[in-house]
């Protein structure tokens, strides 16, 4: 497959290769496409989770929004963020 990038993107890729970030322009584009695949997969996961929530709400499977629930969601979110930071460090 031959790909023609717009001039500014081609220059950017060439510069990243020259700086040693990638061994070749093909490697840079491969990584870019792999990131795009992961982003698209994550979007689909989120879309499915949203649809599941909508389906649950439509079926009456809900819980009241209380201060306790909000605090629990915030606490769990902070724990997940802390864990994500640990796993990327």
- Locate 36 and state its tokens: 């795009």
Give the start-to-end residue ranges of the domains of the chain. Answer: 7-63
pLDDT at 73: 96
Alpha-carbon distances, residue 19 vs 10, 14, 71 (angstroms): 14, 9, 47
Counted residue by residue, the chain has a size of: 89
pLDDT at 88: 85
pLDDT tens by residue, 20-48: 999 999 999 999 999 999 999 999 999 99
User: What φ, ψ does residue 65 adopt, rounded to 5°?
Assistant: -85, 105
pLDDT at 78: 97
């Amino acid at each position: 497959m031959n790909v023609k990038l717009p001039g500014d993107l081609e220059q950017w890729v060439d510069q990243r290769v020259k700086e040693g970030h990638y061994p070749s322009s093909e490697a840079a584009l491969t990584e870019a496409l792999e990131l795009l695949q992961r982003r698209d997969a994550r979007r689909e996961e989120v879309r499915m989770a949203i649809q599941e929530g909508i389906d649950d709400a439509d079926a009456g499977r809900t819980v009241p929004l209380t201060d306790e629930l909000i605090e629990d969601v915030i606490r769990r979110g902070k724990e997940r963020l802390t864990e994500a930071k640990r796993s990327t460090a």
